[in-house]
Amino acid sequence: LSIGIVTAIAAPASIKVDFEGNGGHAGAVLMPS
C-alpha cells in the first residue's frame, strides 16, 4: 500500500500504466529507479 502511494505521487500516469501491465511488480521497480 505504501509503495503504491509513493509511486502514485511520483508518477500517477506511469503507475496507472504499470499497474495495468505488471501490477505491483512495476511499482517496486519504480522505487529504485
Q: What pLDDT does residue 21 have? A: 52
Q: Residue 14: what pLDDT?
A: 57
SS3 33: coil
Check residue 12 and give its pLDDT.
57
Tell me, what's the pLDDT at 9?
A: 65
Q: pTM of this prediction?
A: 0.16
Q: What is the pLDDT of residues 3-30, one digit of tens each?
A: 566 655 666 555 555 555 555 554 555 5
The amino acid occupying position 6 is V
Chain-centre distance for alpha carbon 1: 10
Would you list the domain boundaries of the chain? 1-33
